Chains A and B, each alone.
Chain A
Amino acid sequence: MPLDAGDAGDVQVTGPRSRGERLLDVRDLRVEFRTRDGVARAVNGVSWAVDAGETLAVLGESGSGKSVTAQAVMGILDVPPGRITGGEVLFKGRDLLRMKEDERRRIRGAEMAMIFQDALSSLNPVVPVGDQLGEMFVVHRGMSRKDARARAVELMDRVRIPAARQRVGDYPHQFSGGMRQRIMIAMALALEPALIIADEPTTALDVTVQAQVMDLLAELRREYRMGLVLITHDLGVVADVADRIAVMYAGRIVESAPVHDLYRAPAHPYTRGLLDSIPRLDRKGHALHAIKGLPPNLMDIPPGCAFHPRCPAARDVCRTDVPPPHPVDEHRGSACHFWRECLHD
Chain B
Amino acid sequence: MTQTVLTVDDSRTIREMLNHTLSAAGFRVVTAEDGVHGLDVLQTERPDVIITDINMPRLDGFGFIEAVRGDAAHRATPILVLTTESEPEKKARAREAGATGWIVKPFNPTKLVDAVRRVAA
Is B truly associated with A? no
Chain A residues engaging chain B, CB cutoff 8 angstroms: none
